[in-house]
């Protein structure tokens, strides 16, 4: 018995010391003023679920969290394994931060700032329907607080799309590389760049592989979980919480679907066109005054591109014949490879920038946003 105690005591002491170190590290990590997500000074853009107001959930790329604060440092709290964000402090260069380990719930965004007012802008840049990320607040210098939120542009765009809109593979230069969260980045897409160019808010409803009637490699008759079926969900794949469309009323809606519907044979051109028409009815019921623009590009080519164009031309023509004059079509450039290719032959960052330039010019003219 005595011998066992001799062996056990050092172990117990060691465990106690380790416990003390761990607790001390946690105190250091959380040292400062914790600001909960329910603070009225935090600005949210995009589809968030506030069922738990102090841990709002989100799944779509492009959701944004903005705030102004005072002090010399800033930390961010999130659910572990939430994934990647792009962050920007004041007018500094945007940088990527990640929550990718089981216990990495705190990330430092800024240190050694001048002791004055600052602005932070955060954007979730991957698809979160598997990770189910949550934002859990900020940590400021001790005794400091958030200030009035940043200026929010009045212009509003909604982007509905697939992997191209998500930013699948945009940080890769190897077309034979498969998907990874590490190379997906919505911040670098035509959608996000166009919004920044036009000084507009933007909301994203997009998922890789999704279609207007048929998802990638789906049956010819279509998939039940294509975009129209998922569109009213606050969180992708969560059926029991519907999005309130009154929360965000866009001036213009850009729909970039059809690539997955036609990407593999066989597909049904009539079902494709019918799905576009039905989805236009849904969009118009939610947004009676918005301009709606159906896009193509950049992965559609050849006969598949012609089939999608034909269907969309019919949709626009019939809508205008019914008196809806605010439905439009715009084709972005298809990729030739001269600007490089991202993972799985998705648009490279340079192709995304080219598309953004084209769409920016088109929307600037359409909307009169100069």
Greater confidence (25 vs 141) lies with: 141
- Whether residue 141 contacts residue 58, with contact meaning beta carbons closer than 8 Å, is answered with no
Residue 179 has pLDDT above 90, yes or no: yes
- Whether residue 283 contacts residue 290, with contact meaning beta carbons closer than 8 Å, is answered with yes
Question: What pLDDT score does 21 carry?
Answer: 33
Closest residue by Cα to residue 61 from 160, 180, 194: 160
CB-based burial, 227-251: b 16+ in 10 Å, e otherwise: bbebbebbbbeeeeeebeeeebebb
Residue 150 has pLDDT above 50, yes or no: yes
Q: Which fold has domain 33-140?
A: Jelly Rolls (2.60.120)
The neighbouring-strand residues paired with 294 are 255, 329
User: What span, in angstroms and rounded, lies between the C-alpha atoms of 85 and 30?
Assistant: 20
Q: How confident is the model at residue 7 (pLDDT cuts 50, 70, 90)?
A: very low
Q: What is the DSSP letter of 218?
A: -
- In Å, how far are 71, 119, 191, 335, 353 from 194, measured between CA atoms? 32, 22, 5, 18, 9
- The token pair at 17 is 């010391």
CB atoms within 10 A of CB 207: 23
pTM: 0.91
3-state secondary structure of 282: helix
Question: What pLDDT score does 30 carry?
Answer: 64
The neighbouring-strand residues paired with 1 are none
Question: What pLDDT score does 23 carry?
Answer: 37
Q: Which fold has domain 156-367?
A: Rossmann fold (3.40.50)
Residues of the chain with CATH 3.40.50.1110: 156-367
- Could you report how far apart the first and last alpha carbons of the chain are, in Å? 84
- β-strand 116-124 against 83-89: which pairing, if any? antiparallel
Q: 349-367 and 190-197 helices cross at what angle (nearest 10)? A: 40
Give 212-263 pLDDT, tens digit per residue.
Answer: 999 999 999 999 999 999 999 999 999 999 999 999 999 999 999 999 999 9
**Listed range (3-7, 109-113, 239-243, 305-309) with the worst mean pLDDT:** 3-7
Q: 302-321 and 269-286 helices cross at what angle (nearest 10)? A: 40
Measured in degrees and rounded to the nearest 5, phi and psi for residue 84 equal -105, 140
């Amino acid at each position: 018995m005595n011998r066992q105690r001799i062996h056990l005591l050092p172990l117990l002491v060691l465990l106690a010391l380790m416990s003390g170190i761990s607790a001390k590290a946690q105190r250091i990590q959380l040292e400062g003023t914790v600001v909960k997500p329910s603070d009225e000074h935090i600005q949210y853009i995009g589809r968030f679920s506030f069922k738990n107001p102090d841990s709002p959930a989100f799944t779509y790329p492009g959701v944004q969290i903005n705030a102004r604060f005072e002090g010399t440092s800033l930390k961010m709290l999130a659910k572990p394994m939430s994934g990647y964000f792009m962050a920007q402090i004041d007018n500094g260069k945007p940088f990527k931060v990640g929550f990718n380990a089981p216990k990495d719930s705190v990330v430092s965004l800024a240190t050694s700032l001048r002791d004055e007012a600052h602005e932070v802008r955060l954007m979730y840049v991957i698809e979160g329907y598997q990770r189910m990320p949550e934002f859990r607040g900020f940590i400021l210098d001790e005794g400091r607080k958030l200030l009035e939120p940043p200026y929010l542009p009045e212009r509003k765009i909604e982007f509905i799309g697939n992997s191209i809109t998500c930013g699948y593979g945009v940080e890769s230069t190897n077309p034979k590389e498969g998907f990874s969260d590490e190379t997906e980045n919505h911040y670098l897409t035509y959608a996000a760049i166009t919004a920044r160019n036009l000084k507009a808010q933007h909301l994203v409803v997009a998922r890789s592989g999704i279609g207007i009637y048929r998802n990638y490699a789906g049956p010819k008759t279509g998939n039940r979980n294509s975009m129209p079926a998922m569109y009213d969900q606050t969180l992708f794949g969560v059926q029991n919480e519907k999005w309130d469309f009154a929360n965000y009323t866009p001036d213009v809606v850009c729909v970039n679907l059809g690539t997955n519907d036609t990407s593999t044979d066989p597909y049904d051109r009539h079902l494709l066109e019918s799905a576009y028409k039905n989805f236009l009815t849904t969009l118009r019921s939610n947004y009676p005054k918005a301009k709606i623009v159906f896009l193509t590009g950049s992965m559609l080519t050849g006969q598949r591109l012609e089939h999608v164009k034909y269907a969309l031309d019919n949709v626009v023509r019939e809508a205008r014949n019914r008196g809806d004059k605010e439905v439009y079509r715009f084709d972005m450039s298809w990729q030739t490879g001269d600007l490089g290719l991202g993972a799985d032959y998705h648009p490279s960052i340079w192709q995304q920038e080219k598309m953004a330039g084209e769409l920016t010019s088109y929307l600037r003219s359409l909307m009169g946003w100069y």
